[in-house]
Amino acid sequence: MAERLDRWIGVALDGQIKPGSSNPAVIGGNAIAVWRAEKGPANVWEDRCPHRGMRLSFGFVREGMLRCIYHGWGYEPGGHCASIPAHPDLAPPKTICANVYRSKERYGIIWTNLSESPNAPLPDAGPDQGWQSIRSVYVARQVVAVKGGLATFDWSGGRVEEIGEEAAFVSAGELSLLIAIQPVDERKTGLHVVAKGDGAKDVKARLAWAARLERLRGSIEAQS
């Protein structure tokens, strides 16, 4: 079983997890399903239906429930199974539950803590308002190399303020960037980038930053 430390890890940009969708992710080798009902916050669960082990990231959303694609078992956001289509008149036993992880949306990022006793605080980037999503990139390198790459990248006049455990902060002129760092496994790291400040909402600026992040990805991967 992969380690599940008491830390908040960014797993996606909030805007990328669309209403009525279920999505796969991996944190430290743990398979995750990130899903959202038609309304409401994103949910982060172990990517496994307790019935016959089918990955819930393949599931579909109907009327506020995540349904497993194998037998259509329906799960409410709290994790409880509320519907077993093979037995439409049966109230599913309360023991049937998806494995739910703590999750929070802040700064436009979905954070999750996989620990069984999550006590750590969320990374602090100040007030929650005004953050604009840029993009996620997945770098084919383990997290130490990626952090090293963040430190040495040419941020076009910007400056790396800090590289912490779960996040890095870059200031670039009027903009502040928050980069959530998602260790996927020993060979891959995800970065979820949001920006705040003057011009953060400007489409051209966001496109330019998206391109810069593609170059960041390329520059880290170019190093062996």
Partner 1 sequence: MAVTTDRAALNEWVACGWPEKVAPGGKYRTVLLGQEIEVRRTGVNLFEVFECDEHGKQGRQLPVQAKYCCVFTTLGEPTRPLPEIPEFDEPDRRITGCGSVGVHTSPFRIIENFLDMAHFSFVHTDILGAPERTEVLAYKTEHRKDADEIWAIDCQFYQPAASKASRGGQMTHYAYRVMSPFSVMLYKNVFDDPTRNDAICLFVQPIGETECLAYMPLAIVDRESALTSIIDFQQTIFAQDRVILENQRPALLPLDPTIELPTRADASSIAFRRWLKAKNFQFGVYEKKAA
Partner 2 sequence: MALTLYDYSLSGSCYKVRLLLDFLDLEYERHPVAFFPEREHRTETFRTINPLAQIPVLDDDGIRLRDAQAILCHLANKYDKSNLWLPRDPELFGPIMMWVMFAGGELMAASAARLHDLLGYDLDIKMARRNAHAAFRILDDHLTRREIEGGTWIVGGHPTIADVACFPYTALSNDGGIGLEDYPALRNWLRSFMRLPKFDAMSGISEFA
Nearest 5°: the CA angle 15, 189, 126 is: 50
24 is a contact residue toward partner 2 (CB under 8 A): yes
Amino acid at 221: E
Q: How far is the CB of 35 from partner 1 (least distance, A)?
A: 15
Query: Which of the choices partner 2, partner 1, none does residue 70 contact, using the CB cut-off of 5 to 8 A by kind?
Result: partner 1
190 is a contact residue toward partner 2 (CB under 8 A): yes
Please give the residue ranges that form the binding site for partner 1 (CB under 8 A): 31, 47-48, 50-55, 58, 69-72, 84-88, 90, 95-96
214 is a contact residue toward partner 2 (CB under 8 A): yes
Tokens standing for 48?
């496994």
The residues that bridge with 196 in the sheet, in sequence order, are 176
- How far, in whole angstroms, is CA 89 from its chain's centroid? 36
Q: Which of 18, 102, 159, 215 binds partner 2 (CB under 8 A)?
A: 18
Query: Which of the choices partner 2, partner 1, none does residue 53 contact, using the CB cut-off of 5 to 8 A by kind?
Result: partner 1
Query: Which of the choices partner 1, partner 2, none does residue 207 contact, using the CB cut-off of 5 to 8 A by kind?
Result: partner 2
Q: How far is the CB of 97 from partner 2 (least distance, A)?
A: 22
Which is closer to partner 2, CB of 154 or CB of 214?
214
Q: How far is the CB of 122 from partner 2 (least distance, A)?
A: 21
Phi, psi of 17 (to 5 degrees): -95, 95
Which is closer to partner 2, CB of 161 or CB of 186?
186
CA distances (Å), origin 101, targets 7, 144, 171, 204, 208: 12, 25, 32, 36, 35
What is the full DSSP assignment across 133-172?
A: EEEEEEESS-HHHHHHHHHHS--TT-EEEEE-SSEEEEEE
CA distances (Å), origin 158, targets 32, 148, 151, 175, 196: 34, 16, 11, 9, 14
Q: How far is the CB of 16 from partner 2 (least distance, A)?
A: 4
Q: Taking each helix axis from N to C terminus, what angle separates 143-152 and 203-222, rounded to the nearest 10 degrees?
A: 120
- Residues interacting with partner 2, by CB under 8 A? 12-13, 16, 18, 21, 23-26, 58, 60, 62, 67, 69, 135-136, 138, 184, 188, 190, 203, 206-207, 210, 214
